[in-house]
A = this chain, B = another copy of it.
């Protein structure tokens, strides 16, 4: 849940900055597929990687975590969206 909230926050900041995953990867010296995994919340990022991404997004760490906490609250209030988001882009057998 925490990783998903951070990923969502990073994705929102990246979109606000109007850059692609590839461009963010170039700025932070990380591969595009890694950025993709960060945004979907499958990576348990280290302090240094979080700081690296925050710098690439020109967002101070306290602000990043304040936004993450907001995303977390939103996710807790609306589990439906969370569940749907986890299926996004996947082919689901029903």
Contact = CB atoms under 8 A, between A and B. Distances in A.
Most B Cβ at <10 Å: residue of A48, A63, A65? A65
Number of copies: 2
Contact of A62 (B46, B48, B51, B65): B65
Given A61-B69, A62-B62, A66-B62, A46 B48 contact: no
A73 B47 CA distance: 17
Interface in A39-60: 44-48, 50-51, 60
A38 B28 CA distance: 25
A51 B66 CA distance: 13
Interface of A: 2-3, 6, 44-48, 50-51, 60-66, 68-69
Q: Which 3 residue pairs of A and B lie closest in terms of their CB atoms, listed nearest first?
A: A62-B66, A61-B65, A62-B65
